[in-house]
Amino acid sequence: IRRAIAALGIEHVKSPYGHVTASIGTATDPHGRMDAATLLQRADDALYRAKYGGRNRVEYAARSAAGA
């Protein structure tokens, strides 16, 4: 997804990259123990780590925080 968005070459003058990029946060719950709100919050936290970690990247919610 990140590469496809970058390949579009959409100008973004305020971006340090000069074009539109994508920061993505993901979370999974392979055991089905989390409710939707918790899973969404974990993905949102991962998204903000991606943004603050330099943008144009993907961050995954830590598996250990999943309440295994």
Residue 11 within any structural domain of the chain: no
Residue 17 within any structural domain of the chain: no
Residue 62 within any structural domain of the chain: yes
Instruction: Report pLDDT digits (tens) over 28-56.
Output: 998 889 999 999 999 999 999 999 998 88
* pLDDT of 67 strictly over 80: no
Please give the pLDDT value at position 59. Answer: 95
Query: What DSSP assignment string belongs to the chain?
Result: -HHHHHHH--B-TTSTTSB----EEE---TT--S-HHHHHHHHHHHHHHHHHTTSS-EEE--GGGG--
Residue 53 within any structural domain of the chain: yes
Residue 30 within any structural domain of the chain: yes
Please give the pLDDT value at position 66. Answer: 43
For the entire predicted model, the pTM comes to 0.75
Residue 20 within any structural domain of the chain: no
Q: Which domain holds residue 53?
A: 25-68
Total of domains in the chain? 1
Q: Which of 14-18, 22-26, 39-43 has the lowest mean pLDDT?
A: 14-18
